[in-house]
Amino acid sequence: MSDLDALLDAAKERKTAEPDSRTHEVLIGEDVWTLRFDAMDSRAWGDVTAANPLRPDSPIDRRYGYDFNGAARSAAPLCGVRVVDGKDESLTPAQWEKVFDIISGGESNKIASDIFEMNDFAPAQRLATRKKALAAAQKQKRPLLEK
């Protein structure tokens, strides 16, 4: 195995060992449901955003380049589960549509924001932070020019 393969395998293992997830409690009828959403594989997230083109009249869509709420609704069956007594229960895409039809707009927006944050914003922030750290380290390594 090459050094590059070892580096990639270690990064993949770290990502798998420390998955990002968000939990929401929502009201379904008279019951409180716990929903958990996990960060998605980057290819699956790319497919979701590509399948949800932006709505030209939506400022949030124009900012991100895709239908922000539609992407969350499409992603839910791929990355979300209902948690019942500590066990994951998968819902079908049709059941997820019913959930989004039932929950409040505020709850839907919070879920959309968390799905976006895990799959779009947080990875971009990690990259920016790492680039700054590397630039600072490079700056410290440069010898001071003598006058």
Please give the chain's pLDDT, 147 residues, in tens.
788 888 777 777 776 667 799 999 999 999 999 999 999 999 999 999 999 999 999 999 999 999 999 999 999 999 999 999 999 999 999 999 999 999 999 999 999 999 999 999 888 788 788 888 888 888 777 665 555
Query: Measured between alpha carbons, how far apart are the two ends of the chain, in Å?
Result: 48
Question: So what's the pLDDT on residue 98?
Answer: 98
Distances (CA, A) of 55 to 58, 64, 95, 96, 140: 5, 11, 25, 22, 46
Instruction: Look at the block and give the residue holding tokens 């949800």.
Output: 52
